[in-house]
């Protein structure tokens, strides 16, 4: 028996708003009932080989059509093809086809409000509340997540070791880049609400969309969009350290405090102010404009710009993260 394959495209579109990292979300309508999903998802759509010359052009076209938002910087993330991931099936009009989705990461300097229906910018801490350490270690780790993972691990030392290292339990250090590993561990343990939905579907049932099990476990999303979002966050947290992509999230002119808050919002950790500025100076990524920003609400600060022209002359690096505890 032959199985048709539909290629879908999904976009993790990230911006900074009021000091927080936000992601563009949609609430898709069911193709049969035209009822909006109770859960958020990422902008997505099918690739049409007759209309779209490339995946990226197709992505840009449907993101604009769905959200009325124009994408800027984009890069390909990963191809998601697990069986049963296309839930609900009406999302890309696939019927009984196998859906393979190509994920993209998009960055924009401003979270522009659109008037598109069922479209909104949402802080990604809503979906991964354990990932924000800017104000210290989240209490939900020890009060909710750790006990649940202990029950799941039981006497299995291997399971507990994975949980301890992923979530910085029992004195293990926190690694901000392991976002996807943490989400997939919660999914494997049956703690991510999407897991119960997907197991029921694998058994031939047609379950309703999942509800949040608790605030500590984050808000679920349609299909496997939370996994795609976790992949995007992992990629971005790693990439800001070796490529200057953070400047795709800043305005043309910015203060060093704004730049630091942007990096902290992405990395989810507090940075040492003086050491961060030393890193910026050492990498020679920015230059002062000789003007002050009088809208800081306090002492005027010097404005800077990213030296984008240097990308044509040398391999630019990113910014290391001098943590506050250092």
Domains in the chain, CATH or no CATH each: 5-123 (3.90.79.10), 128-220 (no CATH), 243-312 (1.10.10.10)
Nearest-angstrom CA–CA distance, 108 and 169: 34
Q: With a cut of 70, say whether residue 181 has pLDDT above it.
A: yes
Give the rounded percent of residues in the chain with a pLDDT score beyond 70. Answer: 87
What confidence tier does 91 reach under pLDDT thresholds 50, 70, 90? very low
Average pLDDT, the chain: 86
Write the DSSP symbol of residue 105.
E
β-pairing, 286-293 vs 44-46, is unpaired
Q: What long-range pairs does 147-153 form, CB within 8 A, spacing at least 24?
A: 148/189, 148/191, 149/185, 149/189, 149/191, 152/189, 152/190, 152/191
- Burial class from Cβ neighbours inside 10 Å (0-12, 13-18, 19+) for residue 282 reads exposed
SS3 47: coil
In tens, the pLDDT along 117-139 reads 889 999 999 999 999 999 999 99
pLDDT at position 3: 64
- The residue written with tokens 């859960």 in the block is 39
CB 238 within 8 A of CB 177: yes
In tens, the pLDDT along 234-253 reads 999 999 999 999 999 999 99
pLDDT at position 309: 87
pLDDT at position 286: 94
Residue with the bigger pLDDT between 309 and 255: it is 255
In tens, the pLDDT along 282-307 reads 888 999 999 888 766 667 889 999 99
In tens, the pLDDT along 198-234 reads 777 666 666 566 666 688 999 999 988 999 999 999 9
What confidence tier does 30 reach under pLDDT thresholds 50, 70, 90? confident
pLDDT at position 178: 97
Residue with the bigger pLDDT between 264 and 63: it is 264
pLDDT at position 88: 41
Among residues 230, 240, 242, 136, the alpha carbon closest in space to that of 178 is found at 230
Report the pLDDT averaged over residues 157-184: 97
* Alpha-helix residue ranges (DSSP H) falling in the chain: 55-67, 139-140, 146-153, 157-167, 179-188, 193-202, 225-239, 256-267, 273-283
Non-local CB neighbours of 122 within 8 Å, separated by 6+ positions: 22, 23, 25, 40
pLDDT at position 66: 80
Give the rounded percent of residues in the chain with a pLDDT score beyond 90. Answer: 54
pLDDT at position 210: 66
Token output for 146 = 């750790």
Non-local CB neighbours of 249 within 8 Å, separated by 6+ positions: 14, 15, 16, 107, 108, 109, 262, 266
pLDDT at position 82: 66
Residue with the bigger pLDDT between 169 and 84: it is 169
The whole-model pTM stands at 0.89
Nearest-angstrom CA–CA distance, 319 and 14: 18
pLDDT at position 65: 81
Q: What long-range pairs does 290-298 form, CB within 8 A, spacing at least 24?
A: 293/253, 293/255, 296/255, 296/257
């Amino acid at each position: 028996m032959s199985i048709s394959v539909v290629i879908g495209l999904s976009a993790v579109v990230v911006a900074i708003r009021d000091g927080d990292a936000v992601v563009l979300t949609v609430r898709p309508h069911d193709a049969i009932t035209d009822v909006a999903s109770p859960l958020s998802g990422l902008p997505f759509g099918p690739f049409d080989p007759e209309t779209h010359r490339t995946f990226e052009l197709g992505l840009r076209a449907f993101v604009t059509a769905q959200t009325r938002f124009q994408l800027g910087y984009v890069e390909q993330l990963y191809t998601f093809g697990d069986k049963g991931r296309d839930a609900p099936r009406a999302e890309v009009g696939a019927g009984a086809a196998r859906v393979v989705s190509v994920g993209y990461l998009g960055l924009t300097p401003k979270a522009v409000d659109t008037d598109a229906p069922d479209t909104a910018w949402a802080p990604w801490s809503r979906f991964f509340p354990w990932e924000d350490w800017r104000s210290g270690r989240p209490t939900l780790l020890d009060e909710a997540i750790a006990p649940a993972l202990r029950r799941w691990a039981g006497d299995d030392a291997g399971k507990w070791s994975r949980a301890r290292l992923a979530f910085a339990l029992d004195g293990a250090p926190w690694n901000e880049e392991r976002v996807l590993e943490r989400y997939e561990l919660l999914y494997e343990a049956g703690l991510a609400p999407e897991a119960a939905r997907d197991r029921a579907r694998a058994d031939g049932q047609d379950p309703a969309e999942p509800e949040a099990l608790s605030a500590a476990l984050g808000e679920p999303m349609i299909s496997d969009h939370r996994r795609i979002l976790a992949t995007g966050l992992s990629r971005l947290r790693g990439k800001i350290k070796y490529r200057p992509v953070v400047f795709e999230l800043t305005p043309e002119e910015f203060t060093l405090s704004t730049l630091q808050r942007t990096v902290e919002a992405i990395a989810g950790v507090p940075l040492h102010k003086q050491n961060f500025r030393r890193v910026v100076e050492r990498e020679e990524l920015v230059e002062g404009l000789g003007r002050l920003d009088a809208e800081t609400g306090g002492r005027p600060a010097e404005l800077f710009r990213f030296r984008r022209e240097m990308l044509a002359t040398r391999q630019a690096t990113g910014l290391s993260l001098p943590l506050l505890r250092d």
